[in-house]
Amino acid sequence: MLKFLKGVVVGSGAGLKDFPYNIGEPYSSAWGSWTHYRGTSKDDTSSVSIFSLSGSSSQDGHLVAGRNGVKRLRTVRHPNILSFVHSTESEILDGSMTKHTVYIVTEPVMPLSEKIKELNLEGTQRDEYFAWGLHQIAKAVSFLNNDCKLVHGNVCLTSIVVTQTLDWKLHAFDVLSEFDGNVEAPNGSMLQYEWLVGSQYKPMELANSDWVLIRKSPPWAIDSWGLGCLIYELFSGMTLSNTGELRNISVIPKSLLPDYQRLLSSSPSRRLNPSKLIDSSEYFQNKLVETIQFMEILNLKDSVEKDTFFRKLPNLVEQLPRQIVLKKLLPLLASALEFGSAAAPALTTLLKMGSWLSIDEFSVKVLPSIVKLFASPDRAVRVSLLQHIDQFGESLTAQVVDEQIFPHVATGFSDSSAFLRELTLKSMLVLAPKLSQRTISGSLLKYLSKLQVDEEPAIRTNTTILLGNIASHLNEGMRKRVLINAFTARALRDGFSPARAAGIMALCATSAYYDMTEIATRILPNVVVLTIDPDPDVRSKTFQAVDQFLQIAKQNHEKLNTGDVGGADDSGVLSMTGNTGLLGWAMSSLTQKGKASEHVSAASANANSSLVSVSSNSSSAEAHDTITEHSTSISNSLDQPTPSSPTSTDGWGELENGTFHDNHDSDKEGWDDMESIEELKPPNHLASIQAAQKRPFAQSKQHAQNSSRPNNATKASSTFTNAKPEDDDLWGSISAPAPRSTSKPLHVKPAADEDLWGSIAAPPPKTTSKPSKSTAANDDDPWAAIAAPPPTTKAKPLSTGRGRGTKQMPAKLGAQRLSSSGI
């Protein structure tokens, strides 16, 4: 029964059938009698290191010491001590002999000597890396001696291994024992397996087996000597062969020499404590050590220290060894960002480090942390991600973008900060090609519809540019529904001249998606109007666009004449040579880094720092004046008002339940509210003539000629007399020209508040004679309201028989005002 249980544990001579790891190629060196192998896990193929030690019997001295090492390594845990994973012991039949083997599985490491050759560092970078490694080993030794009261017994080059992140770790615990300071047992050995230590590594008291002196010495005495041996082997590049070589101090750095001599003091009690070596040695005060130490205790630093550190870090990593930066600092930085201990500026450094990696390494080491950062509520982190999205966007998969990134990025479309809205819009140039059609139609286009009426003119402009660039990623139904409406109904009518220019460029760049009917009836009529735009840049681009679309129409005409009906339907496929250049110019400005204007009134003044490059020759102040002039000019030429409010939230069409309903019957919804070509009103001069023909003055003249209705004439005169000044302007814009008459016009300058009838009133009679009785008696004469005043006389006017014979003319009548002006 016991044999059966032993066979289950150690393999029963059948090899490593149940060993959950695959043993690979061995390294060229290892400590003592151990063999160091590369290995992988059978479960997840992750890398491990496997150490094996064999003996002819289970009571072999090396195996006994090896079992001690396994036990110590399993129980002692420290960041600078090799991490234990698994161990087992097996019996393998080798002919007539039974071979006993102990296996230790640890984290993946490689011997220090081989790693130094692989890195091939020189000069300052080599010294900085050695300083960081010695700093780690000194902490491990200090932990064993001062905290655990243990003695390692054989600190040397072969007892150090290096992890994948280039950290140095201490192992080879076969000799490890408790420090016994009991001087009452002078003959007992404190280090049971000290015979495994090479004579060149033994201090004088250990070589002489002076256990009394060893027990009287501090716990670190033996291991401090070992640290001195390690320093010599590191800087000499050779394995120590005898103790006398330690006197060769020419290879030791000057800043480390005093500490090196104290570590190798002939008196055990005077040897330097490893903890003091860590704290006081000048050699450890370098950029690499300080940077890594700061990163390891990042959680203990305040926000000011973090911000200062991460702003200096991009320049600092350029000076540090590249391999150490990528394998040590990069994982630390990615972890700090992922768990929120690092500030937003750290992302800049992370991406800079990531640019030094291959595409595959970047996807494994950097990209997972970046994807998690998109869910961060920190606005500064979101801004930094969007600012640098062009550096990692191409490495993102479509599934990750659609499911994990876009839902978080989309919150920026409605953010209160115009700068964040602008960055979110810029990011869509990279992310939109990776989105599904469902996400584009159900979410993205709704957000872009709102941004095209944003209060920031630069955002409106670049929304148009973005639509032109992602048009190829829209399906045919969405392109028919969105593009022309977005470019003509909004962009071409925008009060910001770069927005109009962007609309023209977007139409040119997407000309392949329009059929001839759309070009002739919806595009050209809206584009031609801008040939009289106040902005010269808009006019020049308009003429280019007109030439391009007329060329398409001409080719369509030629195809129809030759009978190529099928080719005529594809007239929009033609694109002029300069087409891509137009949109390419606009997009070059989309990648510029600069904050958008925070106020609409300063939009033109800040146009150079926004996303849009304004190539107009006019100054920014003139561009600001042009906005108002253009708005009036276009409104008058088309006789159609511009959108009433830039904050309108209407879309391009029926966007319901994430689906576009591609029916063109609802022409009054969203973008389809644009008037048809037949409904366009006539030009200004024709409108004035038509309005003059319908003006109400003719009706008033008819009343004036009809003497049977004097009261109506009097009321009409009174009404026009009391008209408001602003009404004069409205009527004056459509007033009929003065009639051609042989009569001499009055040279009268009416007051500002006079009625409009004064300009067409009959001249006063040129006479100084008294009015006749018949005329004066005819009190119902409709011309009485504007008649000349009666001459000055003492004779009383004739009574009219209506109780008003002695009453003078009211002062408010037009005739009185004409008299006061000198008539």
Q: Is the predicted pLDDT of residue 630 greater than 60, yes or no?
A: no
Question: What number of other Cβ atoms are within 10 A of residue 626's Cβ?
Answer: 22
Strand partners, 84: 106
DSSP characters over 585-619: HHHHHHT---PPPSSGGGTTTTGGGSSS----SS-
Residues of the chain with CATH 1.10.510.10: 112-283
**Cα–Cα distances in angstroms (integers) from residue 188 to residues 150, 182, 184, 191, 198, in the given order:** 17, 10, 9, 9, 21
Contact by Cβ (8 Å): 412, 446: no
**Confidence band for 42, pLDDT divided at 50, 70 and 90:** very high
Q: Is the predicted pLDDT of residue 625 greater than 50, yes or no?
A: no
SS3 content of the chain, % helix, strand, coil (to 5): 55, 10, 35
Q: How far apart are CA 684 and CA 635, in angstroms?
A: 11
- Annotate 315-351 with b (16+ C-beta within 10 A) or e (fewer): ebbeebbebbbbbbbbbbbbebbbeeebbbbbbbbbb
**Confidence band for 92, pLDDT divided at 50, 70 and 90:** confident
**Confidence band for 388, pLDDT divided at 50, 70 and 90:** very high
Residues of the chain with CATH 3.30.200.20: 2-108
Q: For 219-236, what is each residue's pLDDT tens digit?
A: 999 999 999 999 999 999
DSSP characters over 668-715: TSGGGGSPPGGGPPPPHHHHHHHHHHT-THHHHHHHHH-TT-HHHHHH
pLDDT, position 687: 53
Structure-model confidence comparison of residues 520 and 662, the more confident one: 520
Give me the CATH code for the 2-108 domain, please. Answer: 3.30.200.20
Nearest one of 272, 691, 646 to 453, comparing CA atoms: 646
- For domain 112-283, the CATH superfamily is Transferase(Phosphotransferase) domain 1 (1.10.510.10)
Q: Is the predicted pLDDT of residue 110 greater than 50, yes or no?
A: yes
Question: What number of other Cβ atoms are within 10 A of residue 684's Cβ?
Answer: 12
pLDDT, position 629: 40
Q: For 756-791, what is each residue's pLDDT tens digit?
A: 444 454 555 554 444 444 443 444 444 445 545 555
Q: Enter the pTM of the model.
A: 0.64
Nearest one of 794, 788, 792, 796 to 816, comparing CA atoms: 788
pLDDT, position 792: 52
Mean pLDDT of 372-379: 89
